[in-house]
Structure 1
Amino acid sequence: GSAIPRSRTLKKASCCLEALKIATLCGPRLDNYMMYSGTDGIYTYTFQHQRLEDCAVCGRQEITANVSRALLKRPSLRTASRSIYMPAPPSLELATRPNLEKPVSEFAQEGEIVSVTDALLPIALSLTVQYVD
């Protein structure tokens, strides 16, 4: 029962300490991760996650694929400036449904990124639009 309040208190204290260090430059700040283990006392360890360039989640590797058909369940598509199609909630689906009849060129220019999310995808896809003749 008391483990959750202790964890919350530690998180709040850590956030306050990090804010103090950033505001006063009195010590090094966390880089991007802190591990807490409170089983038999308090132990914290801070380390930096390393990016794997070929990782589908954290990498920045780009691949080029010519796609004529993708097998998705209920994809959402959007650019940085607008939603192309959103299957949920119903009001947004109704508002974006007419876009399914329009060509992609009405929404995305050459080189623009279209984000695709779907329940069947483990991560969001960032597709760079490339028109071919």
Structure 2
Amino acid sequence: MARLTYTFLALLAFLGAAVTACTSDNSEDIDPQPKPQPEQCDTTNVTFAKTVSPILAANCYSCHSSSVATNGVVLDTYAGVQKQANNGNLVGVITHAPGYPPMPQGGAKLPACDINKIKSWVKAGAPNN
């Protein structure tokens, strides 16, 4: 009987150790792969020519170029973009603000970084740089 009790206690101790052995493990211990960091959005040194214009070219020119000018909005010239920036329409439509038609029409909202770059440029006075 003592031998059975000893075996039972040894088995119970082993199971207890096995159960508690992994309780302090966390995902970094089990899978030490580094987690990807969110992409940083650099809104410093935003220029019309090198930052804003390429974003607009990729997303807006099909409907708002000089040759198409849907609703009279031209975004392939600095003067056209400046007009929309100064009257608040540019930021309103790309942020999908209430009261503005969401742009690009029928497309996904621009990436947050692109929106932040355009907002930074507008906040700086929408310079022709």
TM-score normalised by structure 1 residue count: 0.29
Which one has more relative contact order, counting CA pairs under 8 Å at least 6 apart? 2
TM-score of the two chains, using structure 2 as the length reference: 0.30
Higher strand fraction (1 or 2): 1
More helix by share: 2
